[in-house]
Structure 1
Amino acid sequence: MTTPDLRFYAFVSRFVDAVSNEAMTAEMLRSRDARRRFQQAHQPAAVAVGTVALPERRAA
């Protein structure tokens, strides 16, 4: 029986971490974009075109 190659396990561990981090980042950006589009689609038309004063927008 051969001893495990720790360098290989370290490489695989770093690779899995990198792929996981990239996937989490992509999901976070997708979620943020979807939330922004949802909020834009559901805000009043006056706010969307910028005809409402800023304090009224914040209160809405």
Structure 2
Amino acid sequence: MNKRSKRYTDEFKMLILELLEEGRTKKSLENEYGVATATIRKWEKEFKGIIDKKYNMKTLKI
């Protein structure tokens, strides 16, 4: 049996990471969206620079 991996858009990945930044847990995101916590950790590493930059821009606008 050939199991195909799911393909996620960058927009979906960013949505998950934004929810994570807002305080959601990886486990709750896994349960709600069906994305494994290991996949979320991979996305965190992949998009770290983008997330850091976006977070810093939000804190500067206070």
TM-score range normalised by the length of the shorter chain: under 0.3
Bigger proportion of residues as helix: 1
Report the TM-score when normalising by structure 2.
0.26
- Which structure ranks higher in relative contact order (CA pairs < 8 Å, sequence separation ≥ 6)? 2
- TM-score, L = length of structure 1: 0.27
Of structures 1 and 2, the larger Rg is shown by 1
